[in-house]
Structure 1
């Protein structure tokens, strides 16, 4: 039940419980009738309410750490013995609750510093781990980049070998044809080679290169020495050499060497 605020600076009441209906806020047990009861006054919006305690369970509010015995409301109505008891409780609480506070506060501050240091150390470790991961990833990407550049250089070198018998105009024409043939599927490219009686094995890049060469220079005839063999070009020696061919179950070796002008070139047929 809320009542109008009491005047003065009284913060605690000391009295004998008028009934056994009140519950101790410390141990949550009932306070017996006529038992010594200490109460905290809590002011809220011009009203007050009392939190009741057994004398031994009483909890002093920090705001009243400098309170004196005279600040206790109704204490004069107690017996002399109970007045001394209340006085002793107040002094004991002030010593135990507040004189140790600075030390406890310092301990808490020290603990907070330790915890903060742990957090900083943990963050540093995580950052270091993350940095190592990033560094490792960057190294990996750099390695891939170098491999890619190396592969590109090798590809460029290989391309120059293919063009060893080409002049500048033929090289430009080759690149144009190459770009157009990229749009076709491997199956379509093989059909084009088949229609011109040319080798149809290899990856798409090799098929395109073979077709482009045939379109510019003409299709290579089969080996004049062994009609089943297909001469292969050696860009370093600038010669064609026929390895031979498979005749049913037996491979017939040829190894005949031809110069670039020794072999006939048959015009390419568009399909």
Structure 2
């Protein structure tokens, strides 16, 4: 599923921010996270946010998101939007790196668990061998008698 970011000034007061659920006032900067649907479906899903309310973008993090209609904003507003998008990208990469660290720690935990289980299995085998040898000694006839 393709996705991109659409920015612009709010055309009316009818759209609500998906984060704070407050109305986006007319002529205020709004950021839309657009999820492009399959060609058979006739619409794209747009989630609108205030500039300050957009904290993360869900979806495929490996995809670079294009910013559409940014040239329709004033220069100072363009800088604000670019700064906000860069912050979001940095935070999403940091979260991804943290998840990888958690995964590695789980993997190390699993390796330790397997090692402990293997050691316990070897100890059990050793005990079984010792018991078998003990019973063989008891069952075998002594030549001294």
Q: TM-score range by the shorter chain?
A: 0.5 to 0.7
Alpha-carbon separation, structure 2, partners of 1:93 and 1:107: 20
Q: Select 1:49's aligned residue among 16, 34, 45.
A: 45
Alpha-carbon separation, structure 2, partners of 1:106 and 1:49: 30
Alpha-carbon separation, structure 2, partners of 1:10 and 1:103: 22
The answer (yes or no) to whether the contact 1:12–1:38 under 8 Å persists in 2 is: yes
Alpha-carbon separation, structure 1, partners of 2:4 and 2:51: 15
Alpha-carbon separation, structure 1, partners of 2:49 and 2:134: 71
How do residues 122-201 of structure 1 correspond to structure 2 at under 5 angstroms? 122-135=116-129, 137-139=131-133, 141-142=135-136, 145-146=139-140
Alpha-carbon separation, structure 2, partners of 1:23 and 1:145: 86
Cα deviation for residue 30 of structure 1 reads 0.3
Instruction: State how many pairs are aligned.
Output: 133
Alpha-carbon separation, structure 2, partners of 1:65 and 1:87: 19
Indicate yes or no: 2:23 matched with 1:32: yes
* Partner residue, 1:58: 55
Deviations 1:93-148 (A, max 9, x none): 334433x57865763564355224312322223313432453355346546644xx
Indicate yes or no: 2:77 matched with 1:82: yes
Unpaired stretches in structure 2, ≥5 consecutive residues: 141-145
What's the Cα RMSD here? 3.9
Alpha-carbon separation, structure 1, partners of 2:137 and 2:14: 82
The answer (yes or no) to whether the contact 1:10–1:73 under 8 Å persists in 2 is: no
Alpha-carbon separation, structure 1, partners of 2:139 and 2:17: 76
Q: Select 2:7's aligned residue among 14, 17, 20.
A: 14
Give the match's secondary structure for 1:39. Answer: strand
TM-score, normalisation: structure 2: 0.59
> Which is bigger in relative contact order (C-alpha 8 A, separation at least 6)?
2
Alpha-carbon separation, structure 2, partners of 1:87 and 1:58: 14
Give the match's secondary structure for 1:11. Answer: strand
Deviations 1:172-208 (A, max 9, x none): xxxxxxxxxxxxxxxxxxxxxxxxxxxxxxxxxxxxx
TM-score, normalisation: structure 1: 0.37
The answer (yes or no) to whether the contact 1:19–1:32 under 8 Å persists in 2 is: no
Alpha-carbon separation, structure 1, partners of 2:121 and 2:82: 58
The answer (yes or no) to whether the contact 2:13–2:23 under 8 Å persists in 1 is: yes
Give the match's secondary structure for 1:97. Answer: helix
Deviations 1:202-254 (A, max 9, x none): xxxxxxxxxxxxxxxxxxxxxxxxxxxxxxxxxxxxxxxxxxxxxxxxxxxxx
Alpha-carbon separation, structure 1, partners of 2:12 and 2:130: 77
Alpha-carbon separation, structure 1, partners of 2:136 and 2:11: 86
